[in-house]
Structures are given as C-alpha cells and as structure tokens.
C-alpha cells in the first residue's frame, strides 16, 4: 500500500483525502463538491477522477457519487492518520495554534512515511505519560520557553 501511496502525485493524494473527508461528512462525494472544496475547476476534477478510477483507487461514473475503492480507502485513511498524528504533535507538544498545526500537517503528511508517524506518535505519548506521572514536564517547559512573540 505504501508503494502505491508513494507513486501518487501530491494532487492525487489531495483528491483522495478530499473524497475521504466528504464521504465521512456526507456519506458520499460528488465532483462538484470536490471542485468546490479544492477551489478547482470541474473539468480538472473530472480528469483527475478518471485517472484515479483507472488506477483502481476510486469508483467513478459521470453524474454519480464518487467513492473510494478498498485500496483507495486504505490510502486515504493512512493520510488522515498521518495528518492527525502530525497536527497533534505540532499543537500539543510544540504548542502551535490548532490552525497552524493543521495547515502544516497538511503539507508534511505527504512527505513522511507511516514508520515516521508511528515513531512520532509514540514519542509524544511517551513524553506526555512522563509528564502525567509527575516527572519533569518537558512539554510545558518547552512551550513556556518558546512562546510565540506577541504581535505589537
């Protein structure tokens, strides 16, 4: 599965994520909704849907719902998991705002692999567990030391 993910372009990954998100929110996705969500033109989205369908990641028929195949679902789910791990780390450990953490996670999730995300999640859990046990709270100390400068 990660071989397939690595072969996908950034745009293809973003399309899969968008279909995944729309399906989670509404139970289905339409080309029009995908175009609106990504601020893309309908013909561009239609062409992308054809390509993703050809490589077996989505089910696509003109004027019908777009859905992920099992393979597409696995890839989109993996990207969603990476996003969650990264956004949590950026916000809860590094102390970034949730908006900034989400924005940055959107960009980084496409260049890291599952092993990296798993290790990052384990590291964050380890440090939080140590802090919860009353040991030296390095997260809090870091966030207090590196507070963003307030805008004047």
The torsion angles phi and psi of 110, rounded to 5 degrees, stand at -85, -10
Q: Helices H, strands E: what count in the chain?
A: 8, 2
Q: What span, in angstroms and rounded, lies between the C-alpha atoms of 17 and 151?
A: 34
Rg (CA), the chain: 19
Can you give the residue ranges of every domain in the chain? 1-152
Q: Are 28 and 67 a contacting pair, CB within 8 Å?
A: yes
Q: What span, in angstroms and rounded, lies between the C-alpha atoms of 70 and 9?
A: 19
Q: What is the pLDDT of residues 17-41, one digit of tens each?
A: 999 999 999 988 999 999 999 999 9
Q: What span, in angstroms and rounded, lies between the C-alpha atoms of 24 and 84?
A: 15
Would you state the pLDDT for residue 151?
A: 44
Q: What is the pLDDT of residues 77-102, one digit of tens each?
A: 999 999 999 999 999 888 899 999 99
Element (H, E) at 71: helix 70-88
Question: At residue 123, does pLDDT exceed 80?
Answer: yes
1-152 placed in CATH 1.10.10.10: yes
Q: What span, in angstroms and rounded, lies between the C-alpha atoms of 47 and 24?
A: 23
């Amino acid at each position: 599965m990660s071989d397939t993910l690595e072969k996908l372009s950034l745009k293809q990954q973003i399309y899969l994520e968008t279909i995944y998100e729309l399906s989670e929110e509404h139970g289905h996705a339409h080309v029009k909704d995908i175009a609106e969500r990504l601020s893309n033109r309908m013909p561009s989205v239609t062409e992308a849907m054809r390509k993703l369908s050809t490589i077996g990641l989505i089910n696509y028929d003109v004027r019908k719902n777009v859905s992920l195949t099992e393979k597409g679902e696995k890839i989109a789910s993996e990207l969603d998991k990476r996003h969650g791990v990264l956004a949590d780390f950026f916000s809860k450990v590094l102390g970034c705002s949730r908006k900034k953490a989400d924005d940055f996670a959107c960009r980084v999730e496409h260049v890291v692999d599952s092993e990296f995300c798993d290790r990052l999640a384990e590291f964050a859990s380890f440090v939080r567990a140590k802090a919860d046990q009353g040991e030296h709270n390095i997260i809090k100390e870091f966030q207090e030391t590196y507070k963003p400068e307030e805008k004047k």
